[in-house]
Amino acid sequence: MSIRHFLDLNLLPAATLRSLVDTGLSLKRGALPYGRAPLGGKTLAMIFEKPSTRTRVSFEVAMLQLGGQAVVLGAHEMQLGRGETVADTARVLSRYVDAVMIRTNAHQKLLDLAEYGTIPVVNGLTDISHPCQVMADVMTIEDHRGPIAGKVITWCGDGNNVASSWIHAATKFGCTLRLACPATLGPDPVALEWARQNGGHIIVTTDMAEAVRDADCVMTDVWLSMGCTDETRKEKLLPYQVTEAMMDLAKPDALFMHCLPAHRNEEMTAGVIDGPWSVVWDQAENRLHIQKAILAWCLLGEAGK
C-alpha cells in the first residue's frame, strides 16, 4: 500500500478531499467512523520551526482523542537545527514514529521528509501553502451553509500561503474564489496557472468592493506574517481592511472567517471579527476535527473502506 501523505490540496483527488471534510463533520457531531481509539499505539512526531497555538494544540489533541500520542520537536531541540539533513532526519523518525507533521518556512523540507521517509507526512504550514487550515475553512462553511460547490468565497489582502491553498481548494470543491489583493502582493502565479489548467474559477482583482459584493464568505489574514518586519505592507494593505461596510456588500447571511491570530483594527475591524458575521471560533475548533480526519486517513485509509 502506498504511503498517504497530506502535502498539498492540488496533489489529492477531489473525492478524497470531499471524504475528509465529510469525515471531519461526522467526527464533530460525535460519530465514530473509525471506531473508538483507532490510532491506539500510534505516535505522531510534530516538528515546529515556527511558533504555533492552533496547529500544535489541535494536532496533539487530535492524536489523543484518536487513542494515539504526539511528540513535540522544536527547531532548537533537534539535530536538524544543527546541520543534520532532512533526509537523515526523515530516515530516523521513520524508525520511531508512525507519521510526521511539520510546520516550517521551507516547503522543500516538507517534500524531503516525504521523499526520504517511509511514513506519512502532513503539511502543518509552509511558506507556500497551509492545506490543513483551508480544509478546516471548507468544513466551517459547509457546517454553517451547506455544500460549498457553487458558492462565492472572497479573500481580502495578501495573496499568501493560505490564499494559495484556497486556490487549490476552490478548484477541487467547485466554488468561485475572488482574491482582492494589492498589485504587488498578489497570489502565487504557479497556483493560479494550476487552477487555470484544471478548470478553477479564480478571479484576481485590486477592487475589494467588487470582490466582496454578494459573496457567501469573506476572509482575510494578518498583514505581517511571523518573521515579517516590512511595515510598508500595512500601507499597501490598508485599503483591503474588512469593515462592517464591506461586509454589508456581501450576501445578507455572509460569513466572516480569519485563520487567526487576528489583529483587530488592522486586517479587519473589531466590529467584524466580534460581530454577527464571524464564525472564527468555529473555524478554529474545526482544525481539531479535520485534523483527526486527516490523521486517520493517512494512517488507516478512508473510513468504512
pLDDT digits (tens, 9 = 90+) for 190-225: 999 999 999 999 999 999 999 999 999 999 999 987
The CATH classification of domain 9-130+285-300, taken from the options 3.40.50.1370, 3.30.70.330, 3.40.50.300, 2.40.240.10: 3.40.50.1370
Which residue is associated with the grid cell 502506498? 2
- The tens digit of pLDDT for each residue in 128-141 reads 999 999 999 999 99
What type of residue is 182? Answer: P
Q: Catalytic pick from 5, 54, 103, 233?
A: 103
Element (H, E) at 256: strand 255-258
Share of the chain above pLDDT 70, in %: 97
Set 132, 156, 175, 259: catalytic member: 259
Q: Which of 133, 241, 283, 291 is catalytic?
A: 133
Is 221 an active-site residue?
A: yes
Does 82 qualify as catalytic in the annotation? no
**Active-site residue among 4, 54, 130, 168?**
130
Residue 81: pLDDT above 80?
Answer: no
Selecting among 112, 137, 216, 221, the annotated active-site residue is 221
The verdict on whether 103 is a catalytic residue reads yes
d(Cα 17, Cα 174) in Å, to the nearest integer? 12
CB 34 within 8 A of CB 289: no
Q: Is the pLDDT of residue 226 over 70?
A: no
CB neighbourhood size of 282 (10 A): 16
CA 125 from centroid of its chain's CA atoms: 7
Catalytic residue of the set 287, 289, 291, 298: 287
| The residue type at 38 | P
Sheet bearing 217-220, strands edge to edge:
201-205, 176-180, 152-156, 217-220, 255-258
* Topology of the domain covering 132-279: Rossmann fold (3.40.50)
Concatenating the DSSP letter of every residue in 171-226 gives: HHHT-EEEEE--GGGPPPHHHHHHHHHTT-EEEEES-HHHHHTT-SEEEE--SS-T
> What are the pLDDT digits (tens) for 97-139?
999 999 999 999 999 999 999 999 999 999 999 999 999 999 9
CATH 3.40.50.1370 in the chain: give the residue spans: 9-130+285-300, 132-279
Reported pTM: 0.96
pLDDT band at 304, cuts 50/70/90? low
The question of whether 130 is a catalytic residue gets the answer: yes
* Mode of pairing for the β-strands spanning 152-156 and 201-205: unpaired
Residue 82 has a pLDDT of 74
C-alpha closest to that of 37 among 19, 6, 1, 62: 62
